[in-house]
Homo-oligomer: A and B are copies of this chain.
């Protein structure tokens, strides 16, 4: 098993949070493709592990977006701040989610979004260069990311449908049902900014 390799220089018998995080990353990728020891080693090399803490910004709106993130544990929020200061939350990423400002990552443009760590978290980052080279080094990654983007596309399309067809109250209900773990971790203000309404209005909805 690959983990044994990574633990060669781990003198005691405990599994470090680094190892745990790495396991989560590899397990996530292996949901869709098969990896041998060499593949895992390669991924271990190109994915940089980081322990980040609450309130840290993984990306600041306006800066070049160079990294794709995998959240091994904890939570991250992606949001935009408009000229007049209004915040809009695009997505929350908790355990095992991938997140970045994808538009700006793929086109290497200035970020429309900021990425904010919501609690102390373990993440992996993959640089744009490694992302592009990865497809040559490990062609199966085409399949992995095909499925990842496929799911992401479907998710966003359903969100669009909900946003334009349902009432705010229905959308809030659906959010709570769909993402109960997120509801526990984030503030109501953040949920409001995800739904595109004011915190005050969300508050009145909740009274029922």
Contact = CB atoms under 8 A, between A and B. Distances in A.
Number of identical monomers bound together in the oligomeric complex:
2
Nearest to A150: B149
Contact of A160 (B82, B139, B163): B163
A150 B112 CA distance: 17
A113 to B, nearest CB: 8
A165 interface: yes
Contacts of A86: 165
A135 B145 contact: no
A196 B164 contact: yes
Contact of A142 (B142, B158, B163): B142
A196 B163 contact: yes
B160 A159 contact: yes
24 contacts: A80-B165, A82-B165, A88-B161, A88-B164, A88-B165, A90-B157, A102-B150, A102-B157, A106-B154, A112-B161, A143-B146, A145-B146, A145-B150, A146-B149, A149-B149, A149-B152, A153-B153, A156-B159, A160-B163, A163-B164, A164-B194, A164-B195, A164-B196, A165-B196
